[in-house]
Chain A
Amino acid sequence: MQLLASARFSILALAALTLVALAACSDDPEPVVVEKVVEVVKEVPVEKVVEVPVEVEKVVEVEKVVEVEKIVEVVKEPEPAEEPVTTAGPPIYQMGIFEEPISRNFWNYYGGPAGSVWTKYVLAGHTGSMYGYSDQRFDWIPSLAADFPTDLKKETVGGGEFWTAEVPLKTGVTWSDGHELDAGDFVFTVNTVLDLELSSNWAAVVDRAFLDRVEALDSHRLKVFFKTTDEEGNPQTPGLSVWQFGLGFMPALAEHYWAPVIEEVKRAGEIEQQHEALFAHVPDGEPTLGGFTFSKWEPGAFFENDTNPNYYGIGTMITMYENGAYSESNERTGHSATYFDEASGDKTLEYTVGPHVESGIFSIYGNQDAAILALTKGDIDYVFNPLGLEKGFLDRVRSSPDIQVVSNANNGVRYLGFNVRKAPMNIKEFRQAVATVIDKEFVASTILQDAAIPVYAMVPEGNGFWHNSDVPKYGKDMSRAERITQAVDLLKSAGFTYEQEPELSEDGNFVSKQGKGLKMPDGAPVPEMQLLAPSAGYDPMRSTFAIWVDRWLNDIGIPVRANLTGFNVIVDELFSDTVAEDLDMWMLGWGLSIFPDYLENFFHSRHAPEVGDGYNWGGYSNSEFDKLALGLLSETTIEGARDKVFQLQEFLAEELPYVTLFTTPKLDAYRSARIEFPYTDVLGGLEQLSGMQHEALIK
């Protein structure tokens, strides 16, 4: 009986399980997915200012937003009978994030340890600045400013000489609590940054080396004072990166809310204690300027922003024209402006600024798998990923007719760096030979299946206005045999000698005998070198490249060993005191800003670790380059800056302190059955625009 009972129980359990399985597997019919790759090549208007916010994030290799050059759209065609499922409910824009924001204190986010990309997403709709960027084209346009600033002029004030400029502010702009924004808010923010010696992003927009002070001429007029000489008395000019794309982008914080807090903070003791007190402040009831205000934060679960009904931008009609003109008008506030050209001809974009939602909720998921499932099921409308949607999730989201995947260009670069202090890396021809022998197209297309895009200039192609496509391209379009021959010729031309030169197979497709006994021009054998590169766990693409670089260099007799290791190990090595002696080659990546002043930051000799702080770990030093790079920093016109950036790119592509390797496309997935954006073709993708919270429209 007992056996019978247990058997009956088992049979019943099995039957129940089968029913469950059948119920769960009775899935909707799979939609027919037709993928269409549409390439849209856009002309970049050369006469326009095309730049993007120099947004600062702590996450490494998070790429930034620029002009879109090429967009690949994945178009899905569901079965005609299949009706897209529209999620009912309140107009809430639901987004998925993978990590908790660190703080909602903007001072902490912008100048403290809370500067994570996840914090950026949730606070993106809170602030405003004097100037900003237009949609898609990223023209530099007035935001809270009523117009462009006056030209910089030298002026003697109070016995001192300054570069000055005046900025008119919009009138009638209010904080979320109804208090009117005035020039005092900007002056307060600048003074707080200077008084409290705030660093990080604050130091990037308020450059103490240049900025002397900001004054309020009246309630809606600002005057900016820049120093005319540096600390050593040398003349200096505040260039684009200091003024237009620096201070012009400084977020303003509300004086009427923060002033008492800052007074309290200043009484906290030493500057470190003041920072701690400032960052520890919980900004309950803080008024905001953007389209959203903080509503609720349930730690570990979600962060919610409500719409700011006093947002000055609500209802603004943005129109962009084929001729480069930008126009905005708002019936509610009566504001209207057109920049760059006459607002006529074909329109390239037209939409009304929101927020069009009641609130924005950021749900926190423990992993990308769960977030993608939630997106597919309809729980959320968009998933943030600083590195873009992983390829592995593409098939899953493509199977849903309610989800749209967009692919955009990225403004970042992965590179191979040399320690040019050491032989043989200090010999230009050696670096050129290395660049020649690396077949980027082969790895990107054949090995990585087009998941990577080869890059030759330090400014990626996606950053159309600043990219120089006419730089020297070592090894491009060469066969393997041609690469080997040219690399060997380059080495020999610099005085390198072989005991045995590399030999090619009969068909020329591979090296049948590796080069051996490579000696430097002084007769010393080329020492064994180490190439530090991230392991596959961190970045499979770079580790793949490193393995191939190892193989190709050894083919031509350069004894290199790829050491695939942790990201932190590489960073530690780069920041160590012995970097000049220990480092040989390394492979990392940069997420870049639109205005390419990073060229100076990466390669000017003053940024080598042995001289000062900076990112020139390879110790590249060239007086001609240094002069040109400093010239870029003090350049005040767009055309002049562009010319210098082009020259710098050519210089670097010839000198090769870095061999630029590749960039990657940025994939975003959103629930098109429920949410609509005025545009999705934007450099860096939707993620770079923090999910377009002001533009998203619930269907």
Chain B
Amino acid sequence: MAKYLLKRMAQILLTLFVFLSLVFFIVNAQPGDVSNFYALNPDLPPETRERLQDLFGVNEPLWKQYAVHVKNTFTGNFGISFSHYPRSVADVIKERLPRTLVLFLTAAVFSFYLGFALGKIIAWRRGRWVEYTSTVGGVALYTVFTPWFGLMMIWFFAFKAGWFPIGKFLDPVLWRDAPVDANSVFNRMILTAIIVSVAVFAVFLVTSRKRASGARLIRAASVAAAILAVIVVWLASGAATYAWDIVRHMALPVITLTLISFAGTMLLTRNSMLETMREDFVMAARAKGLPERDVRDKHVARNALLPVVTSFVFSLAFAVDGGVITESIFSWPGMGQTLVSAAVSEDLPLAVGAFVFVGIFVLVAHLVADVLYAYLDPRIRY
């Protein structure tokens, strides 16, 4: 395993180098540079453009810029953002990443559970009405034109029905006197989610050897206790109102993202389940007289999980990229929106930095998925 991991690490480094070279040259292939945005203002002295090019170093030869880029990336320095001058790229990413993570990880988890649950059901009820409606509905949502769907969701549920806020991630009037800033609340939310997940996972792990009825009770109690603890801690921190405001603003984009993406997991689970259902051990389980639900959840679904989890891990990795369209439509200032505005405003360091950052996450996610394979399927050994 250690040898395999070392080999994979070397591959990752090589892939990362190729990736960041490609990103650099593709982004630089755009005509013009950031100074173009200052070029056509007759009130500005003509030397303004050259001053800016000097300041940003965009008038240096491309090979020199590339050498600086490679050196900076491997030393963890993505440079200064042109469009957020004088902030560093790392600083901008640090600010935007938690917002994207909170939104997209939540949506990914919801989408995964919904997709996995529905996938199990429709595989078990193959040929029935529920399969057709779920498949057609899911595929329709999966293939819908996202900007249109997002706008329709806002128009219908936020504007017409008034159930949700129109875009953004907070209410400025509430936050104008807030003692905390939004990012600290986002970071606390992420921390809360991590602690609760680890705690619940630990409880599930500990109770896995217990009798089913007892385990179920302990698990339910631990989940309830975790929720209660979260509420108490947040109320005591004085930031509960602000966290709730973010959750309120998150609801519509999360619903939209879940609706758009659950079908992928659902169809993958269905296909994987259908393949597993043909296995001999399923027939053996039925022959033993096990209840259908146990056969489905404990024997088939457990073994059908492998490709679904892999897909989920990749989707988590891509969550750091955010959704260019979703974030723009819902005015959610995360990594996706940052990428778009960086590209449009020719903020090359930020665009390249954001791409490389996502690339690193995806490569690491691949490694994690490989390791998970071995954990989930004992037949796999490296």
B55 with A200: CB separation less than 8 A = no
> At the interface, yes or no: A614 with Cβ under 8 Å from chain B?
yes
Chain B residue nearest to A592 in the complex (CB): B42
Minimum CB–CB distance from A304 to chain B (whole Å) comes to 6
Minimum CB–CB distance from B252 to chain A (whole Å) comes to 11
Asked if A201 meets B43 with Cβ closer than 8 Å, knowing A363-B168, A364-B333, A373-B154, the reply is: yes
> At the interface, yes or no: A3 with Cβ under 8 Å from chain B?
yes
A301 with B85: CB separation less than 8 A = no
Chain A residue nearest to B80 in the complex (CB): A276
Which chain A residues in 576-591 approach chain B with CB under 8 Å?
Answer: 588, 590-591
> At the interface, yes or no: A20 with Cβ under 8 Å from chain B?
yes
Give the segment of B223-231, B302-310, B313-321, B324-332 that binds chain A: B324-332
Give the segment of A107-115, A309-317, A492-500, A510-518 that binds chain B: A107-115
Chain A residue nearest to B165 in the complex (CB): A379
Q: Mark A198-212, 1 if CB is under 8 A from B, else 0.
A: 011101100000000
Which chain A residues in 1-39 approach chain B with CB under 8 Å?
Answer: 2-3, 6-7, 10, 20, 23-25, 27
Residues of A with C-beta under 8 A to B37: 58-60
> At the interface, yes or no: B145 with Cβ under 8 Å from chain A?
no
> At the interface, yes or no: B216 with Cβ under 8 Å from chain A?
no
Give A408 to B210 CA distance when docked, in angstroms.
76
Which chain A residues in 380-408 approach chain B with CB under 8 Å?
Answer: none
Give A57 to B337 CA distance when docked, in angstroms.
23
Give A607 to B50 CA distance when docked, in angstroms.
15
Asked if A601 meets B42 with Cβ closer than 8 Å, knowing A6-B130, A359-B176, the reply is: yes
B45 with A203: CB separation less than 8 A = yes
> At the interface, yes or no: A631 with Cβ under 8 Å from chain B?
no
B38 with A100: CB separation less than 8 A = no
> At the interface, yes or no: A272 with Cβ under 8 Å from chain B?
yes
Minimum CB–CB distance from A588 to chain B (whole Å) comes to 7
> At the interface, yes or no: B40 with Cβ under 8 Å from chain A?
yes
Give A106 to B160 CA distance when docked, in angstroms.
41
Asked if A569 meets B46 with Cβ closer than 8 Å, knowing A2-B125, A300-B333, A366-B330, the reply is: no
> At the interface, yes or no: B19 with Cβ under 8 Å from chain A?
no
> At the interface, yes or no: A279 with Cβ under 8 Å from chain B?
yes
Minimum CB–CB distance from B73 to chain A (whole Å) comes to 21
Q: Mark B108-144, 1 if CB is under 8 A from A, else 0.
A: 0000000000000000010011100100000000000
Which chain B residues in 47-80 approach chain A with CB under 8 Å?
Answer: 47-52, 54-56
Residues of B with C-beta under 8 A to A103: 85-86
Q: Mark B85-100, 1 if CB is under 8 A from A, else 0.
A: 1100000000110010
> At the interface, yes or no: B341 with Cβ under 8 Å from chain A?
yes
> At the interface, yes or no: A92 with Cβ under 8 Å from chain B?
yes
Residues of B with C-beta under 8 A to A201: 43-44
> At the interface, yes or no: A374 with Cβ under 8 Å from chain B?
yes
Residues of A with C-beta under 8 A to B86: 103, 108, 276, 279-280
Give the segment of B28-36, B274-282, B351-359 that binds chain A: B28-36
Residues of A with C-beta under 8 A to B95: 299-300
Give A595 to B83 CA distance when docked, in angstroms.
30
Chain A residue nearest to B130 in the complex (CB): A6
B43 with A56: CB separation less than 8 A = yes
Residues of A with C-beta under 8 A to B175: 296, 298, 301-302
> At the interface, yes or no: A275 with Cβ under 8 Å from chain B?
yes
Minimum CB–CB distance from A382 to chain B (whole Å) comes to 14
Give A100 to B130 CA distance when docked, in angstroms.
47
Asked if A113 meets B52 with Cβ closer than 8 Å, knowing A27-B160, A361-B173, A365-B167, the reply is: yes
A7 with B45: CB separation less than 8 A = no
B176 with A295: CB separation less than 8 A = yes
B45 with A200: CB separation less than 8 A = yes
> At the interface, yes or no: A610 with Cβ under 8 Å from chain B?
no
> At the interface, yes or no: B172 with Cβ under 8 Å from chain A?
yes
Which chain B residues in 166-193 approach chain A with CB under 8 Å?
Answer: 166-170, 172-173, 175-176, 181-183
Residues of B with C-beta under 8 A to A361: 172-173, 176
Residues of B with C-beta under 8 A to A359: 176
Chain A residue nearest to B334 in the complex (CB): A300
Q: Mark B256-286, 1 if CB is under 8 A from A, else 0.
A: 0000000000000000000000000000000
B327 with A366: CB separation less than 8 A = yes
A369 with B151: CB separation less than 8 A = yes
Q: Mark A112-132, 1 if CB is under 8 A from B, else 0.
A: 111100000000000000000
> At the interface, yes or no: B25 with Cβ under 8 Å from chain A?
no
- Count of B interface residues, CB-CB < 8 Å: 70
A115 with B170: CB separation less than 8 A = no
> At the interface, yes or no: A61 with Cβ under 8 Å from chain B?
yes
B331 with A199: CB separation less than 8 A = no
B329 with A204: CB separation less than 8 A = no
> At the interface, yes or no: A575 with Cβ under 8 Å from chain B?
yes
Residues of A with C-beta under 8 A to B165: 379
Asked if A301 meets B172 with Cβ closer than 8 Å, knowing A7-B129, A103-B85, A373-B154, the reply is: yes
Minimum CB–CB distance from A609 to chain B (whole Å) comes to 9
Asked if A370 meets B31 with Cβ closer than 8 Å, knowing A10-B133, A92-B173, the reply is: no
A367 with B42: CB separation less than 8 A = no
Residues of B with C-beta under 8 A to A365: 167-168, 331
Asked if A299 meets B333 with Cβ closer than 8 Å, knowing A102-B84, A102-B85, A361-B176, the reply is: yes
Minimum CB–CB distance from B351 to chain A (whole Å) comes to 14
Minimum CB–CB distance from A434 to chain B (whole Å) comes to 23
> At the interface, yes or no: A613 with Cβ under 8 Å from chain B?
yes
The CB with the most chain B CB atoms within 10 A, among A25, A57, A566, A575, is that of: A575
B166 with A300: CB separation less than 8 A = no
Chain A residue nearest to B337 in the complex (CB): A366
Give A661 to B329 CA distance when docked, in angstroms.
35
> At the interface, yes or no: B367 with Cβ under 8 Å from chain A?
no
> At the interface, yes or no: A334 with Cβ under 8 Å from chain B?
no
Residues of B with C-beta under 8 A to A370: 154, 166-167, 329-331
Which chain A residues in 49-92 approach chain B with CB under 8 Å?
Answer: 54-61, 89-90, 92
Residues of B with C-beta under 8 A to A279: 85-86
A373 with B130: CB separation less than 8 A = no
Residues of B with C-beta under 8 A to A592: 42
Give A55 to B41 CA distance when docked, in angstroms.
10
B45 with A199: CB separation less than 8 A = yes
Asked if A593 meets B31 with Cβ closer than 8 Å, knowing A102-B85, A108-B85, A361-B176, the reply is: no
Residues of B with C-beta under 8 A to A23: 161
Which chain B residues in 16-33 approach chain A with CB under 8 Å?
Answer: 30-32
> At the interface, yes or no: A548 with Cβ under 8 Å from chain B?
no
Say which residue of B156, B176, B330 sits within 8 Å of A304 (CB atoms): B176
> At the interface, yes or no: B104 with Cβ under 8 Å from chain A?
no
> At the interface, yes or no: A602 with Cβ under 8 Å from chain B?
yes
Give A601 to B55 CA distance when docked, in angstroms.
25
Residues of A with C-beta under 8 A to B44: 56, 200-201, 203-204
Say which residue of A298, A299, A571 sits within 8 Å of B40 (CB atoms): A571
> At the interface, yes or no: A99 with Cβ under 8 Å from chain B?
yes
> At the interface, yes or no: A693 with Cβ under 8 Å from chain B?
no
Give A201 to B157 CA distance when docked, in angstroms.
45
The CB with the most chain A CB atoms within 10 A, among B43, B155, B156, is that of: B43
Minimum CB–CB distance from B273 to chain A (whole Å) comes to 16
> At the interface, yes or no: A572 with Cβ under 8 Å from chain B?
yes
Minimum CB–CB distance from A463 to chain B (whole Å) comes to 14
Residues of A with C-beta under 8 A to B46: 607, 612-615
Give A381 to B222 CA distance when docked, in angstroms.
48
Known: A373-B158, A613-B50. 16 other contacts (CB 8 A): A23-B161, A56-B41, A89-B173, A92-B173, A113-B34, A113-B52, A204-B43, A280-B86, A300-B96, A301-B170, A301-B182, A301-B333, A363-B168, A370-B167, A373-B155, A571-B40
- For this complex, 10 residue pairs linking A to B, each with C-beta atoms less than 8 Å apart, are A102-B84, A102-B85, A272-B54, A299-B95, A299-B333, A361-B176, A373-B159, A571-B32, A572-B31, A598-B42
Among all A-B residue pairs, the 3 with the closest Cβ atoms? A300-B333, A568-B32, A613-B46
